């Protein structure tokens, strides 16, 4: 899975193009913080009730 990580691939390509690691480190830290905030938000969100179980789904009968 790590060999297909888009962040790792992008970082490696930038390093190969001459971007210095110290310029990438703050970006990586910002990404990690954003991901942590997103996880916390998702875990603290109210769970939808059964009335929303089919929300956003389509069946073949719904396609015009």
Express each pLDDT in 39-63 by its tens digit: 999 999 988 888 888 888 876 665 5
Q: Would you say residue 32 lies in a domain? A: yes
Please check whether residue 59 lies inside any domain of the structure. Answer: no
Cα 9 from Cα 23, distance rounded (Å) = 16
- Output phi, psi for 57, to 5 deg: -95, 150
In a domain, 36, yes or no: yes
Answer yes or no: is 50 within a domain: no
The pLDDT value given to residue 55: 84
End-to-end CA distance of the chain: 39
Q: How many residues does the chain have?
A: 64
Structure confidence at residue 60 (pLDDT): 60
1-45 confidence digits (pLDDT tens): 778 899 899 999 999 999 999 999 999 999 999 999 999 999 999
Q: Can you read off the two tokens belonging to residue 33?
A: 């913080």
Is the pTM for the entire model greater than 0.75? no
Number of domains in the chain: 1
CA 17/CA 47 separation, integer angstroms = 45
Structural domain span for residue 6: 2-45
């Amino acid at each position: 899975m790590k060999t297909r990580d888009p962040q790792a691939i992008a970082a490696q390509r930038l390093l190969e193009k001459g971007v210095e690691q110290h310029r990438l480190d703050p970006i990586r830290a910002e990404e990690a913080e954003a991901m942590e905030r997103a996880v916390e938000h998702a875990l603290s969100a109210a769970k939808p009730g059964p009335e929303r179980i089919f929300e956003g789904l389509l069946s073949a009968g719904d396609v015009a």
